[in-house]
Amino acid sequence: MLLIEEGNDYEDVDEADLPYSHLKNLGHGHSSIVEAVQDKVTKAIYARKTFKIPPSKTKRHEPIKVFRNEVKIIRNLGCHRHIIKVFATYTTTSNIGLILQPVADEGDLEDFLATYWNAVRDVEDTSTPNPRLDGMKLVMRHAFGCLIRGLAFMHDKKVRHKDIKPRNILIHNGRVIITDFGYSFDSNGRSRSATNGKPGPLTRKYSAIEVLQHEERDSRSDIYSLGCVFIELLSASSLVPDEFGCFSDNMHNIHQRLALWEVPSELSTLPKTITRMTMPKPSDRWCALHTAIEILRTPGLCCEDCRLNPVDPNKKCVKEHGRT
């Protein structure tokens, strides 16, 4: 049985030698499946993302490209509290395996929000303290600052995620973790970070207008997508369940509602910030660092680690776009 060690890449492995036993299915991506597995040797538990290698040589390029891109980007990003970590990788004759940490104990944000709303509906006496709901509210409140900090970190490293949505945000020990970098874009070593033309796989509901229209796009497309996620988080925090459909089709009406939305006092600055994140014109949106500075002005909107490591307000993009 193979001993899989952290940081290593194992090639041409026999499937029978892999030390992993299946625990449960976690989901699937555009070209992969994700499951929780346990190492039979070390007893450690991981998330395993598997890409099937088609037998046809002409069809092998895409999964291998996605796999290599994801590994390269996550490793280049290094260790960040709110970004998934690669433990090791392997290839067999028919599969490519990406071993990730951690296995989220509360699933992804989409499932987390669904669980929250079910719990809210089950509460008969809202005046009675509910530790479970209070804990979930704290996770959601921290998510605003922690997610924008993670995105600002990525953009500072010249990485665009390109598919930010609740399914690609994990919840583990009360901490939000951004995952699924298979179709992300690393502009390091390139003359420009913007791209145009038909995009790769995307999630229409959370995509910016310029992405859906195949126009030029850059890091502000990520800002738009995260702003859509924030609208759903704010909806939950305000006890106003809603189904927004495709955000770009309804954003004008959503902006009008945001201006009138009654939210808890500790979240009162968010409607204005979210509106700036989801402006139709990319040039009207704040950069991730600017957005992080605005959000983190309000105490309690991030975890302790983010609070103790503030963003730099002197970054170029913040100075260029002002702080209005």
The rounded Cα 12 to chain-centroid distance in angstroms is 31
For the chain, the first-to-last Cα distance in angstroms comes to 59
Q: Over the chain, what is the mean pLDDT?
A: 90
Characterize 283-319 residue by residue with b for buried, 16 or more Cβ atoms within 10 angstroms of its Cβ, and e for exposed: eebbbbbbbbbbbbebeebbbeebbeeebeeebeebe
Q: What percent of the chain has pLDDT over 70?
A: 90
Question: Which residue segments constitute the domains of the chain, with CATH numbers given?
Answer: 9-101 (3.30.200.20), 109-321 (1.10.510.10)
**Dist. CA 312–CA 238, nearest whole Å:** 30
The pLDDT-based confidence of 324 (bands split at 50, 70, 90) is: very low
DSSP characters over 180-202: --TT-EE-TTSS-S-B-SS-SS-
Least confident of 73-77, 115-119, 165-169, 226-230: 115-119
The letter for the amino acid at 265 is S
Strands (E), the chain: 9-10, 20-28, 33-39, 45-52, 85-91, 95-101, 159-160, 169-172, 175-178, 185-186
Task: Tell which residue, 15, 12, 81, 93, has the closest CA to residue 48.
Answer: 15
The structure's pTM equals 0.92
Mean pLDDT over 129-141 rounds to 93
Residue 322: the pLDDT is 46
The letter for the amino acid at 172 is H
**Dist. CA 74–CA 49, nearest whole Å:** 14
Residue 79: the pLDDT is 87
Residue 122: the pLDDT is 84
Token pair for residue 241? 């369940």
pLDDT digits (tens, 9 = 90+) for 217-230: 999 999 999 999 99
Mean pLDDT over 194-215 rounds to 84
The phi and psi torsions of 12 (rounded to 5 degrees) equal 55, 50
The pLDDT-based confidence of 314 (bands split at 50, 70, 90) is: confident
